[in-house]
Amino acid sequence: MQINILGSVSISTNEKHRTIRANKVRAFLALLALEAGRAVSNEDLADELWSGHLVGNTRNALQAHATRLRKVILGSAQQRQGASVLRAVHNGYLLEVPPECVDSNRFLDLAARGAAELPVRPDRSLVLLQQALVLWQGPALLDAGDGLRARSAAALLDERRLTAWENLVSAYLAVGDDGGAIAELRQLVARYPLRERFCELLMLALYRTGRQGEALDLFQWTRRRLDEELGIQPGVPLQRRHTEILAQDPALTLPSAVMSSRREPAAART
């Protein structure tokens, strides 16, 4: 059984995909999935599902949601497994599955391994990061409700996704696939125009493919967007990249050009 939270909250098994219609049951599963293998107290579950609003009988309400969730699990797995995956424990519930059964945990593992490989084996990094990003089906915890834990986890996962994309296009550039990097980066810059690292990498890829003018125009476009929307100037890494392209710095063709600003404190803004 696989639990999916990188997009809509759902359960998959044997290539069958089951959505969960009830809002509170989705939120219930999402919080347990975020803590897979660890017990979550009734108090924490109630805070997540009802955000401090009074509920007549919290324990009974949680039991009802647990019963409904078990029915979903039973529809996705063998009956014995369904009965044991979601367990009631002292003052709480436990989703007894290995962490890798939750897609977000697989993503984080693959993304971390991909980032570690980037400086030494960018070809391997590229494969790992592609495997990580293909797990996403939409914004994290898309329909998990407005509970604080779900929203905090969603924000963290979405940020990790952006970092994985940065590393992916860096890997494209590191292996010499400038065209692949440009294809990815044009979409990313359009979606996240204030993310300076995407702009910087696209400027580098354009310059390496003989489009210095486009790279410089992109810098000016980003500078205007930052000024108009945030009232700030580009960060040091982006300004340095602009200066290097103006000077046609020979170092821009080296692998180190991809990694240099990656090691510096980023001025990334979303």
Whole-number pLDDT of residue 83: 52
| 264 or 95, greater pLDDT | 95
CATH assignment, 2-101: 1.10.10.10
pLDDT in tens, 125-160: 999 999 999 999 999 999 999 999 999 999 999 999
What is the pTM (predicted TM-score) of this model? 0.89
Choose the weakest-confidence range: 81-95, 114-128, 195-209, 215-229: 81-95
Distance CA 179, CA 185 (A): 10
Q: Tell me the percentage of the chain whose pLDDT exceeds 70.
A: 91
- Residue 80 confidence (pLDDT) above 50: no
DSSP lists the bridge partners of residue 89 as 92
Region 15-27 average pLDDT: 88
Whole-number pLDDT of residue 57: 86
- Residue 219 confidence (pLDDT) above 80: yes
Instruction: State the fold for domain 176-270.
Output: 1.25.40
Whole-number pLDDT of residue 270: 42
Whole-number average pLDDT of the chain: 91
Same fold, 2-101 and 176-270: no
Going from N- to C-terminal start, the domains of the chain cover: 2-101, 176-270
